[in-house]
A and B are shown apart, each in its own frame.
Chain A
Amino acid sequence: MQCDRARRLLPQLIDSALGPLHGLMVTRHVTHCAACSAHLEELQSMQAAIRSNLPYHRAPPGLAARIGAMLPREDVPTPSRSWLRMPAFAFGGSGLAGALAGVALTLLVVGGGRSSGDAVVQSVIGDHVRSMMADHLTDVLTSDQHTVKPWLSARLDVSPAVRDLKDDGFPLIGGRLDYVDGHPAAAVVYRHAKHIINLFAWASPGKPDTGFRHETHQGFNIVTWRSGGITYYAVSDVEAEQLAEFAKLVAAT
């Protein structure tokens, strides 16, 4: 292969846009040609520089909520809409608030079948972990239970128990929308010391209440129960006893 031709194909090589045959031909040329090799190195170094050093501007906190409020939705009863215009909603720029929870799109597709408890556990652990990655913890960042609860019920068909348990050592941080094992779910976020607790809740209409069930998976403690047609999963790396206490407090509300 001539240098001219190789040069023209180098960008396609670094953009993974060359077929295997051309890719091989260019690669072989480059190993024998110092000039083209230097060229390739430059292209690659620019690509690497942009990919790793160009600042990524994440959506400011609250933008997701503002967009959610802006999109027309005719069927929501007025009471749950009016609060959206309340000043409390214009929460300020704290670093914690993320654009949106890590909604796993693939879950949209698999939502059909009924899954076993284990799959649910895997799903809530996955969501818990994703939620703690930078900026993805909360959609609505506030310790005000009167803001979190209506925010969630305006967006979901459940109205889970939300209470600030600060006095009991579990301050409320916020809430977000999530998608757990095929259910749209509320995630209410609490903190205990440095640990985050995600409380997932989704509607299970007509199902009987259950007591607490405790589990440990992949280093996370989980407490699950059902109450008033809502399934709850509390997930955290706090100690099992503390999570049990937390679950009791939430269930008592």
Chain B
Amino acid sequence: MVQHDRKRRFELLALPHLDAAFNLARWLAGNTADAEDVVQEAYLRAYRYFDAWQGGNFRVWLLTIVRNSFFTWAKENRSSRLVFHAETPAGDFPETETTWGMPPRDPEALLMQRIDSQTLSRLMERLPTEYREVLLLREVEDLAYKEIAEVTGVPIGTVMSRLARARLALRKLWFGEVEAEAGNAV
């Protein structure tokens, strides 16, 4: 009976976050089949360590496990998705650049509001995993810096600078897109 209750309690807490868990895993792993593996492994782990949950935000706790399960999975499978910052081509996303540089010539054209979801997906896919992950946790899961720090296991300051670099990188990719389009149009 104890076991029965534990499982039910876990399911009631964890299954409502399945979409969030899957979405994160899918964006990290890049495809549905791998994301499913990652999520199943994560839920199994979460169930195993359920007693260690301290009663804080369950979604944050669960997403931490999903995220770690992904990295374990990626390591074991020697996945090319496992792109750490050190391996990021320096030319693409310079570490030192922290400002947004000059305002664009035609700011209106560069506003991202008009980006379609297909293009946005493609650009997100091109970001290093650790950039994609902070953007997802911030904008899609709407987590606070502190919660993102918890999920990714880095200090809040790192979360903030990584988020700034992630936005900068995405902006750069988007500008490239706009320029390419303008080039084609000529």
Which residues of A line the B interface, CB within 8 A? 7, 11-12, 15, 17, 35, 38-39, 41-43, 45-51, 53-60, 63-64, 66-68, 70-76, 99-100, 102-103, 105, 108, 155, 177, 179, 184
B10 close to A57 (CB less than 8 A):
no
Q: Does any Cβ of A come within 8 Å of B179's Cβ?
A: no
Q: Give A99's nearest chain B residue, CB to CB.
A: B18
Given that A53-B117, A184-B12 are known contacts, is A100 also in contact with B18, CB under 8 Å in the complex? yes
Residues of A within 8 A of B115 (CB): 49, 53
Residue interface bits B133-146, CB-to-A below 8 A is 1, else 0: 00100111000110
Given that A60-B32, A66-B40 are known contacts, is A71 also in contact with B139, CB under 8 Å in the complex? no
The 8 Å CB contact of B163, one of A11, A51, A103, is A11
Residues of A within 8 A of B18 (CB): 59, 63-64, 67, 99-100
Residues of A within 8 A of B21 (CB): 59
Q: Give A7's nearest chain B residue, CB to CB.
A: B99
Residues of B within 8 A of A102 (CB): 16
Residues of B within 8 A of A76 (CB): 4
B145 close to A17 (CB less than 8 A):
yes
Residues of B within 8 A of A108 (CB): 12-13
Residues of A within 8 A of B15 (CB): 64, 67-68, 99-100, 103, 177
Q: Does any Cβ of A come within 8 Å of B95's Cβ?
A: no
Known contacts A42-B110, A103-B16, then 4 further A-B pairs from the complex at CB < 8 Å, ordered by chain A residue: A38-B107, A68-B15, A71-B47, A155-B11
CA distance A175 to B69 in the complex (A): 30
B124 close to A54 (CB less than 8 A):
yes
B120 close to A50 (CB less than 8 A):
yes
Residues of A within 8 A of B12 (CB): 103, 105, 108, 179, 184
Given that A63-B22, A75-B4 are known contacts, is A39 also in contact with B139, CB under 8 Å in the complex? no
Q: Give B112's nearest chain A residue, CB to CB.
A: A49
Residues of A within 8 A of B144 (CB): 15, 17
A46 close to B145 (CB less than 8 A):
no
- Does more than half of chain B's interface fall in helix, strand or loop, or is it mixed? helix
B3 close to A54 (CB less than 8 A):
no
Given that A63-B22, A75-B3 are known contacts, is A50 also in contact with B139, CB under 8 Å in the complex? yes
A75 close to B43 (CB less than 8 A):
no
Residues of B within 8 A of A50 (CB): 120, 135, 139-140
A35 close to B103 (CB less than 8 A):
yes
A-B contact pairs, 27 of them (CB 8 A): A7-B99, A17-B144, A42-B110, A46-B167, A48-B112, A49-B112, A49-B113, A50-B139, A51-B140, A53-B117, A54-B140, A57-B23, A57-B26, A57-B27, A63-B18, A63-B22, A63-B40, A67-B39, A67-B40, A67-B43, A68-B15, A70-B43, A72-B3, A74-B3, A75-B1, A100-B15, A184-B12
Residues of A within 8 A of B171 (CB): 42, 46
- Min Cβ gap B2→A in Å is 8
- Min Cβ gap A43→B in Å is 7
Residues of B within 8 A of A15 (CB): 138, 144-145, 163
Residues of B within 8 A of A68 (CB): 11, 15
The 8 Å CB contact of B111, one of A41, A53, A56, is A41
A155 close to B167 (CB less than 8 A):
no
Q: Give B167's nearest chain A residue, CB to CB.
A: A46
